[in-house]
Amino acid sequence: MARLILASSSPRRKEILKQVQPQFDIITREVDETVEALLAPEEQVMTLAIRKAEAVAKDNVDAYVIGADTLVFYQDEALGKPKSYDEAKQMLTLLSGNTHFVYTGTCIFHENKKQVFYEKTKVTFWELTEKEIEDYIRTGEPFDKAGSYGIQGYGATLVKEIHGDYFSVVGLPIAKLYRTLTQMGFTFAINK
């Protein structure tokens, strides 16, 4: 059986991938996560996904290596992971009552070949009170998430509507990933 590697330490990506493939390895490498801000959002996330996958694929040429990166964009500004309570509050206040876009870039390397794609999902927040924002930040959930929220946790209560791939907002567009891996020759456990 071909080896599958997730080049991400994200517990959310791990859980999503487990839905379709119970066994895979997790291997990560430190990569430079700075990208040219003038690049289009989809180019930014795909560039970072390539870096993450490529860094692991160098030592694992025979494996299928998956790299992914997710960014939240509001009015063409990237909202990364907040570094403080104040930064989380500022981001959530910006998103309150507004629509933003979540981009997830995905890259798969196998035998020196690569496939790269992205998903763009439109997310609209409810109008949030200051208390709702503060209560949410106190859960601790915003601090390891782009845009200061996790749609799969308490953050679901902030979201009024979503248009696009839910799993992409969580961090891994599993339906497109499944199809791309299958086209590249990977056989999932479910298909044996």
Distance CA(169)–CA(146), nearest Å, equals: 10
Catalytic residues: 69
Reported as a single tens digit per residue, the pLDDT across 64-83 is 999 999 999 999 889 989 99
- pLDDT value at position 98? 98
- pLDDT value at position 38? 86
CATH number for the domain spanning 139: value is 3.90.950.10
| Domain that includes residue 72, residue range | 4-191
Reported as a single tens digit per residue, the pLDDT across 82-124 is 999 999 999 999 999 999 999 999 999 999 899 999 999 999 9
Number of domains forming the structure of the chain: 1
User: Is the pLDDT reported for residue 1 higher than 90?
Assistant: no
* pTM flag (> 0.85): yes
Is residue 161 packed enough to be buried (19+ CB in 10 Å), middle (13-18) or exposed (0-12)? exposed
User: Is the pLDDT reported for residue 192 higher than 80?
Assistant: no
